[in-house]
Structure 1
Amino acid sequence: MNTINPEKLYHSKWTAVRPRNKEKHFLVTALERDAEETVVAVVLEAVYTRRETTLHWQALKDDDTWLMGWR
């Protein structure tokens, strides 16, 4: 399981373990916060297609789906 500090996710790089539609490498382009300013979600942008996806930041902890950095 990846250990992640949600405050340091902005501009971090991620690799999808099982790429879809040639989308393997992603960059965190935005952090979504709640009323208390805690991070609740991240916006991932696929490097190849520029498609954006929003997901809960804790989903990045799953080693079976995401790897830190670009590999």
Structure 2
Amino acid sequence: MQTQKRQINPRKLLHSKWTAVKPVNKEKHFMVTRLMMPDLETQVITAVEIEAVMTGRRQEMPWRDLQNTELWKQGWVQ
């Protein structure tokens, strides 16, 4: 079975909201709080920092992981 991917514009990720399909430690809802661009000349986004709404815990991850519909749903879903 092939993993389904959604189209995402990486430039519109900042402050976007996401729901983990399989929450860990009751952390279900997240917000993108920072975009990582190691090369400021090309402005290529390589990763994002997401923050768990419930705990405030932050983690860095490749932004393309958000395209995986088996891991993430766009928006805050119940």
Taking structure 2 as the reference length, what is the TM-score of the superposition? 0.88
Map Cα deviations across residues 7-66 of structure 1 (whole Å, 9 max, x no partner): 000000000000000100000000000212111000000000000010000010000000
Kindly report the root-mean-square deviation, in angstroms, between the aligned alpha carbons of the 2 structures: 0.6
- Structure label with greater radius of gyration: 2
Count of residue pairs the alignment pairs up: 71
> C-alpha separation between the residues in 2 aligned to 1:2 and 1:53?
21
Match of 1:25 among 25, 29, 39: 29
**Higher strand residue share:** 1
Which position in structure 2 is the counterpart of 1:62? 68
Moved over 3 A (4+): none
Identity of aligned residues (%): 48
Structure 2 unpaired stretches of 5+? none
SS of 1:39's equivalent?
Answer: coil
Structure 1 unpaired stretches of 5+? none
